[in-house]
Amino acid sequence: MTKRRLLITSIAAGLALSTGVLITSAAPQSKAKTAKGKALSGQSPAPAPSFGNSDAINEKELQVYDYFLASDQLEGRNLPSRGFDTAALYVASHLAEWGLKPGGSTSGTNGPLQPYFQPFELVSKQVVPADSKASVTGPAPAGGRGGRGGAPVADAPAAPADPAAQAGGRGRGGRGGGGGGGVRTTEFEYGKDWSVVAGGRGGPPLEAFEVSGNLVFVGNGYVVNKTKTDPYQGLDVKGKIIVVAGLPAEIAAQQEQLAAGRGGGRGAAPADAAPGADNAGTPPAGGGGGAAAPPNPLGEPCVDFLTPEAAAAKNGAVAVVSIASFQQLTAMANPNAAAFGGFGGGGGGGRGGANGPAYTAPKLQAKPACPVVPTITAGLGLATSIFAAEKKTAAQIFYAAGSGAKQDSFALAANTKISLKLAVKSEPGHAENVVGILEGGDPAKKGEYIVLSAHLDHVGLAAAAPGAHNVNNGADDDGSGSTALMAIARAYAEGAAKGIRPARSIIFLWNAGEEKGLWGSQYFNQYPFVDIKNVVANLNIDMIGRTKGPGFTDPDPTHVLCEPGEVMLVGPQISSDDIGKTVETVNDAYQKLKLNHFYDATAPDKTHDNLGPQPRGQRIFYRSDHYNFAKMGIPIVFFTTGLHPDYHRVTDTPDKIDYHEILVVSKTISAVAWVLATQPERPKINEKLPEQLMKDMKTAKDQGWGNLTAVMPPLPGEPY
């Protein structure tokens, strides 16, 4: 923990530092009001308590809010779901009752609550397996029989001479082939023999396509500048379909390292990400709670290297067939794999099951850095058929790819051809941030904003045995943060009614879809309804409800959890020393929490974030909604008490929450917001920022984030 520094500053709104205690006073008001809102003629405004009205926050209300948000009836607040919509209505109803100004839709609303919603569109794209086709036409092996094509099992101990003999096939045999010679066509079933690499972590968007053509094998398919690797040299792939297997050694080594940390820590990335995936420095599409991917060891995509999808597009190929990895084949052999995003996991549509189909947010999808072509993942049955006429068998290519051996490129037989058709259906959905605003009391400063944020969504229902508790209640993640934000909003509204109003305005923001990839905070920053340059700071709250109580144990060594009376800060040492000084000064004078900077780092060292697969660590800085504010150059502080065994489990229930901890952390955040909203100067962003943050800031700028945008009217199905 760094040595605390004392901030001594004069605050025009009446802040003074005296005998170690920070005292504040409200901006002058022309009239004081009674509790009923009637002016008392000739009476001076009530003096502001220290740090605004922060002392009004109480433990009882925190329990009430959290027990509602984490109730089984809200079904885990998955986005989208009726449970999430109910939570949004619950928050909005309180904001309306407290008299906070709506920050959402200004037209087409139904009733008094929809104006508190900032909606954004969702869409679910699902593969239609019955209408999706794959077939290979090629020479029938001599003496072979027509009929069902073989599909090797995932765990064959060695490469047999005939991989098709490993297991009974799933593909339906085509015409011809009996008696040897000739040509036969073999069809393969979607979800069992092949799937798509789309709509997931960094892969191309899921779109319908239909292609056919001859095939060319190009090793792992990557073009890498630093090693002068180009498997396409000397090959004509224009109008053809390339076949790839394996990964470059650097990526394979990194993924092995990540795989070693799966299940430990907050959302480790999968070991078998799509070959074309590269989401370095950004949260994965599959969940904001998941860790940001480390920088790609090959460098910048489309600059330092080309993925197979990008290289194929550049060289004129029309699609990529990627031979499944061992992990993918294992998932393929598991009949329940589809429910958990395995080989047949909906073709990029994501998890089905208890939470229904997965959705994406079309307006938040980044444009690809360079053109790409569609990709499918082929099981070994399909691969065997592709290489049936070649000297090198599918099994040999599979095992060489698994061992990391370099494989030479070659064109496949001219009379071997593959036809692919992917059918996709779309279903619209909706999401909504919940936004309330307290206007500042200083005419010159009320156009500037402090944004306080928490995410309202969680991960929904879990797959469980019939009759078992299957609700991921999310009492801590992020019921605790949403609860704290409600209590802070109420305290500010109550204070304003008494004449206690900060100079700058406060935006209270409950984000939707943090668990899906920081969606709500991205939407707020990409399409802001206020001038983003006037956002002074973001204070983000995520998981502040658990501490090491008596008898606490955690078998996961990658978890760090606070003691009672302690809170972890993430971001100030990275993004803004100014805001860090403010937090420390307020804390010294008020709740006197122990401030822990363990996660206040972008790279692990001996005293910061040194858990999880090295050298990656947990990278918590990239993993909650504050990061989208940081990408806009806004000073941020993320408050958390850390990770515990109930994280993303059905055991994250409200009876386990330390409500006194939420109380003292909420008061601290409220007080920090008050000081930031009343002091004359804005906190500055640090001159030196981490390289990854600077890259992401540039990307956000290049993609046009931050242009003032009117909030859209409510979407079909929006709650009211």
The whole-number pLDDT of residue 549 equals 87
The whole-number pLDDT of residue 176 equals 40
Residue range 284-288: mean pLDDT, rounded: 35
**Cα–Cα distance measured from residue 406 to residue 578, given in angstroms and rounded to the nearest whole number:** 52
**Cα–Cα distance measured from residue 61 to residue 94, given in angstroms and rounded to the nearest whole number:** 12
**Cα–Cα distance measured from residue 185 to residue 172, given in angstroms and rounded to the nearest whole number:** 9
**Cα–Cα distance measured from residue 223 to residue 307, given in angstroms and rounded to the nearest whole number:** 7
The whole-number pLDDT of residue 603 equals 81
The whole-number pLDDT of residue 293 equals 62
pLDDT > 70? residue 291: no
Nearest CA among 160, 180, 170 for reference residue 135 = 170
Quote the tokens at residue 175: 């015409």
Residue range 526-535: mean pLDDT, rounded: 98
Residue range 541-565: mean pLDDT, rounded: 94
Residue range 23-38: mean pLDDT, rounded: 35
Q: What percent of the chain has pLDDT over 70?
A: 78
Q: Which of 203 and 386 is assigned the larger pLDDT?
A: 386
The whole-number pLDDT of residue 198 equals 56
The whole-number pLDDT of residue 252 equals 87
Nearest CA among 359, 505, 526 for reference residue 445 = 505
The whole-number pLDDT of residue 509 equals 99
The whole-number pLDDT of residue 151 equals 39
Beta strands in 32-174 (DSSP E): 101-102, 117-127, 133-139
- Each domain of the chain, given as residue ranges in start order, spans 16-122+430-702, 129-422
pLDDT > 90? residue 443: yes
Reported confidence tier of residue 181, pLDDT bands at 50, 70, 90: low
**Cα–Cα distance measured from residue 71 to residue 259, given in angstroms and rounded to the nearest whole number:** 34
**Cα–Cα distance measured from residue 364 to residue 370, given in angstroms and rounded to the nearest whole number:** 17
Contact (Cβ atoms closer than 8 angstroms) between residue 579 and residue 537: yes
**Cα–Cα distance measured from residue 195 to residue 200, given in angstroms and rounded to the nearest whole number:** 12
The whole-number pLDDT of residue 123 equals 96
Reported confidence tier of residue 275, pLDDT bands at 50, 70, 90: very low
Reported confidence tier of residue 292, pLDDT bands at 50, 70, 90: low
pLDDT digits over 60-111, tens only? 999 999 999 999 999 999 999 999 999 999 999 999 999 999 999 999 999 9
pLDDT digits over 450-508, tens only? 999 999 999 999 987 788 999 999 999 999 999 999 999 999 999 999 999 999 999 99
The whole-number pLDDT of residue 333 equals 73
The whole-number pLDDT of residue 265 equals 36
CATH class of 16-122+430-702: alpha beta
Cβ-proximal residues to 153 (8 Å cutoff; 6+ apart), any chain:
166, 167, 329, 333
The whole-number pLDDT of residue 143 equals 47
The torsion region of residue 474 among left (phi > 0), alpha (psi -120 to 50) and beta comes to left
The whole-number pLDDT of residue 39 equals 34
> Of 75-89, 234-248, 290-304, which range is least confident?
290-304
The whole-number pLDDT of residue 348 equals 41
Cβ-proximal residues to 453 (8 Å cutoff; 6+ apart), any chain:
485, 509, 510, 511, 521, 538, 539, 540, 541, 625, 626, 629
Reported confidence tier of residue 254, pLDDT bands at 50, 70, 90: confident
Residue range 17-29: mean pLDDT, rounded: 33
pLDDT digits over 388-420, tens only? 999 999 999 999 999 989 999 999 999 999 999
The whole-number pLDDT of residue 160 equals 35
Highest mean pLDDT among 174-178, 368-372, 577-581: 577-581
Contact (Cβ atoms closer than 8 angstroms) between residue 405 and residue 219: no
Q: What is the pTM of this model?
A: 0.83
Residue range 7-16: mean pLDDT, rounded: 35
